[in-house]
Amino acid sequence: MISARYREIGARMENLQKAIPEHIQQIGWSVKKLIPGQNSFMFELKKGFFEKAVIKVRGTPQDVYVEVDGQQGLMDIVEQALANSCDNPAAIVGWKMQAEQRAMELAKASAAITQPPSAPAPTPTPAPKPPAPKLEACMHCTAPLTYDPEEVLVICNYCGYVNNTTGEQPPRYSMLPVVVDGSKAMELAKDHVAKGILVTRGMAERAEWGSIVLRYVPNWAVTVQLKGDVEGKRALIKTKDAKGQVAQEVAIQALGGALGSIFGGAGKGAGKALGDRTERMSISETIDVSIVARKSAEFQPDAGAYKIPLDKKEPFRKTGEETLNVEISDQAAAERAKSLALQELRSRYTFVSRFNVGAYPFDDSELIYSPWWFIEYRMGGKSFSVIIDACNGSVIAGQRPWLPKETTKGR
């Protein structure tokens, strides 16, 4: 597999999606299947009877990641399509050059590892890879770094660079802008609380509204590809809890019974046919999943409540607001994303007799620092909190009995 990453080229992703099929046709390939998408898309290609290839593209105009599973000529042609679909083709560093650079870095890194300062006892077997030493200075400006042992990606307090504490290259990262100000967020929080069971707008207004703080919370944006087949009953509406599923089963059976009696005679049979109807679906799609890169529960969104507004992404810069560091690695996030993507798919069915689906996360998860408002309120003598996305105003968590504490770390 060949991969390359193109930065600061101002790619037009939509044009690229159209340009790739036109370009590959010129060298005899055709598109067998396209999985389209705004931030990521994938082509399955064929040439003649036997040759197959896959092209995956994902990212943003200023940071495009391309993966080609197939012959090298295809990567060349994709690069051409990219050059024809971007604002700044001069900034393209060719994939061959990128591969060379990577190889050189790898050689340097392994040379450093194979020369221990004073080896006490040489290990006879080629050990996998010693645990990398923890980083002490910023890789960009060399300022000293302080961080909790849990944290794996740390923002430099001086220059804002995101350091990987293993000393390796950081992942792709960006941030979301603050669009919703504090007073607007407060309004949204009150609206949300007023919608709660047994709470009126008046009660929400009269609640004691306490502190409001803004935090940038790191989220991993993971794209998971699902492939396989499912045999079962499609849900009328998506449902994630067993109770809802049962309610739907009953509703479908009741509907079946009603139809049966309308059409007369076949009462039971028709009900059964409709109630038991299963279908086999072949699954091939990608799902975008976001994983909060913090371990503590106070930052976890309500199930299914949060979708990163990826369309508003901006390059990362240091702000005056407190930005939380990453505690969950991209690999751990990818594992979690796999099961969430499978859950999402499963929730479209009320009943499943066969679920044979593989989940494959793309290996270039992106880190997105998202600004969230944490708002505290007291009602009936208890204290709760609401989390509001400061970028698009959505409610991330509704009624939380805690609020993140101000950390002691410097800004």
List residues near Zn ion by CB under 5 A: 138, 140-141, 143, 156, 158-159, 161
Nearer to Zn ion, 162 or 204 (CB): 162
Closest approach, Cβ 242 to Zn ion, in A, equals 49
> What is the DSSP-derived secondary structure letter of residue 178?
-
Closest approach, Cβ 1 to Zn ion, in A, equals 33
> What's CA 202's distance to the chain center, in Å?
38
Nearer to Zn ion, 159 or 305 (CB): 159
Token couple for 367: 């880190």
Closest approach, Cβ 141 to Zn ion, in A, equals 3
Owner of token pair 């590959």 = 24
* 3-state secondary structure at position 366: strand
Cα distances (angstroms) measured from residue 353 to each of 169, 272, 349, 377, 382:
44, 16, 10, 46, 45
Nearer to Zn ion, 27 or 143 (CB): 143
Nearer to Zn ion, 158 or 360 (CB): 158
Closest approach, Cβ 230 to Zn ion, in A, equals 48
- Among 235, 231, 238, 267, smallest CA distance to 350 is for 235
Closest approach, Cβ 218 to Zn ion, in A, equals 17
Mark 315-341 as b/e (b = at least 16 C-beta within 10 Å): ebeebeeebbbbbbbbeebbbbbbebb
Nearer to Zn ion, 35 or 159 (CB): 159
Torsion of CA 230, 231, 235, 241, to 10 degrees: -70
Closest approach, Cβ 156 to Zn ion, in A, equals 3
Nearer to Zn ion, 138 or 291 (CB): 138
Closest approach, Cβ 337 to Zn ion, in A, equals 29
- Among 5, 98, 13, smallest CA distance to 61 is for 13
Q: HSE on the CB side for 281, CA within 13 Å? A: 19
Nearer to Zn ion, 317 or 405 (CB): 317
- Ramachandran category for residue 28: left, alpha or beta (phi over 0 → left; psi -120 to 50 → alpha): left
